[in-house]
Structure 1
Amino acid sequence: MQNQQKSLPYFKSIESKPMVFLNCIFGLFWIFFVLVFIGGIVFILTSSSEETGFDEIAAVAFFLIMLAGISAIVAFVMYSRKKMFTTTIIDEKGIRYVNKFNNKVVKDLPWSSFAKREKLAHVFQSPKFDIVASTPMKSFFDQFYWPVLVNKKAAIHSDAFTGKHFFMMFYANRLELIRAFLLGVAHYRPDITVDPIIFSNHYIDPENYNIDYRQQQRIRILSAVFCILILGLIYYFVD
């Protein structure tokens, strides 16, 4: 194990870099979404039935829908505000999730907190790997799962290596963060096993931890061509 660890590439700490333009578009979308609900409430309260075109029952129903929408958004923000983070830092200590808007560490996961899967009492069958990944439905990003010790009890931690804030959701160096995460595990927790498919799915060589950017670009181009082809066929047959 020591010989294997000596042959590993040098581990360098990394901090996430936001995709400024895309994050602004995403954040402004949510602001626009909120303004639509607020505007709907103001419109129904300040307009007559002749102006709205609604009868009394329809007006009340519209108001309740707008109120429910804005209430759900406020409840979601209040529930998640303590969990929101803008930055992910991976260094020799572990992984830290930081909200740079208020300079608070939202969560700190030292390498020592990583646990083996067999420590999970609710797992009925022996898993093959401690760190696994999958792509949830309605998501563009792989979600990584692994056990961590919280108050001496093992619990599953998940991370997509994206931000959790309306204006800091997307990272420009997400692939480099995943590479640093895997290399950090190899350096500081060589007893933790990683599903090999994670390396191939993210264009990372498991021997030297180099990222194959050419392969990533080829996959993106082929995916774009495939999507254009499918849309073209749909348009052709529908038209």
Structure 2
Amino acid sequence: MQEDLKKEFSSMVSKPSWVITWLMNIFGGAVLLIMFITLAVFPFLVSGSIKVFVVVTILYYPAWAVGMYQFFHYVKKNMAIAIKKIIVDDKGIHFYKKDGGIDEILYSQLGLSRLSDDYEVYISQRRKSWMLAVGIDRSETKVAFDGTHLGSIYYIKNARALRARFVEGIAHFRPDLRIDPLVFEEFSIHPEKFTFDGKRYMKHIIEIAVTVSVLLLISVLILIVIKIV
């Protein structure tokens, strides 16, 4: 039975969106350039006289040079391990890095998490957004299907489909694991087909947009009433 499942479970590879990737790179590069120029001319902006300028320059530019070196060293180091490809197959999910290394989360590794007593596969919050979480050695592991937990060299346009396929793999090859129903709800995954449900996703987006619009309208009305009173 397990062999039959492996034969019918096709692998899925991450797909890049080069348009969004270049737009993000251009925007990010512009922001960094503005910050670099601003920090470079900072002594000229705060110095009111030659004496103050000389003192600020002597103290500031060595620290600025060290900071720039540390920053570019950090960027270079992280670019070396940036994700260039993600594959979900019958073994698990594999993150292929730019330096040739591979990070993996295998179905065989999954188990209990000390942060969830009810489910082994559930949702967990990171920076005000929900992520898929699994238990490995009783520790929580959050999985970012766009590669953002390690950095990515391009924007992955089928990240939601990759997540749905990974959940499908868990259901197929580890039926002993309990999957929180909120995983299907939050990530718009069809509970039977294990495909990304675009209609449900758009419904969530519309609901959020309507909620935000209503809150903004109420806030504006309250401000108008306060001003009138």
Which one of the candidate residues 18, 26, 32 is aligned to 1:20?
A: 18
1:207 equivalent in structure 2: 192
Which one of the candidate residues 40, 43, 46 is aligned to 2:41?
A: 43
Q: In the superposition, relative to structure 1, how do residues 69 and 217 fare at CA in structure 2: closer, same or farther (>3 Å)? A: farther
Gaps of 5+ in 2: 225-229
Q: In the superposition, relative to structure 1, how do residues 236 and 74 fare at CA in structure 2: closer, same or farther (>3 Å)? A: farther
State the identity as a percent.
19
TM-score, length-scaled by structure 1: 0.70
Q: Which has the higher contact order (CA 8 A, sep 6+)?
A: 1
Structure 1 residue 97: Cα displacement:
0.5
TM-score, length-scaled by structure 2: 0.72
Distance 1:193 1:233 in 2: 41
Matched, 1:136 2:126: yes
Aligned-residue CA RMSD (Å): 3.9
1:180 equivalent in structure 2: 165
Which one of the candidate residues 71, 74, 77 is aligned to 2:72?
A: 74
Q: In the superposition, relative to structure 1, how do residues 73 and 143 fare at CA in structure 2: closer, same or farther (>3 Å)? A: farther
2:202 equivalent in structure 1: 217
Please state which structure has a larger fraction of its residues in helix.
Answer: 2
Distance 2:25 2:81 in 1: 17
Which one of the candidate residues 87, 100, 117 is aligned to 2:112?
A: 117
Q: In the superposition, relative to structure 1, how do residues 160 and 108 fare at CA in structure 2: closer, same or farther (>3 Å)? A: closer
Structure 1 residue 199: Cα displacement:
0.9
Q: In the superposition, relative to structure 1, how do residues 56 and 14 fare at CA in structure 2: closer, same or farther (>3 Å)? A: same
Structure 1 residue 60: Cα displacement:
6.2
Gaps of 5+ in 1: none
Matched, 1:145 2:116: no
Q: In the superposition, relative to structure 1, how do residues 225 and 174 fare at CA in structure 2: closer, same or farther (>3 Å)? A: same
| Counterpart residue identity of residue 143, structure 1 | M
In the alignment of these two chains, the number of paired residues is 219
Q: In the superposition, relative to structure 1, how do residues 19 and 62 fare at CA in structure 2: closer, same or farther (>3 Å)? A: farther
Q: In the superposition, relative to structure 1, how do residues 213 and 40 fare at CA in structure 2: closer, same or farther (>3 Å)? A: closer
After superposition, what is the alpha-carbon deviation per residue over 1:29-63, rounded to whole angstroms, capped at 9, x for unaligned? 3322332343245435899x5799x7455556765
CA contact (8 A) 1:133 1:144 kept: yes
2:227 equivalent in structure 1: none
Structure 1 residue 144: Cα displacement:
2.1
CA contact (8 A) 1:12 1:180 kept: no
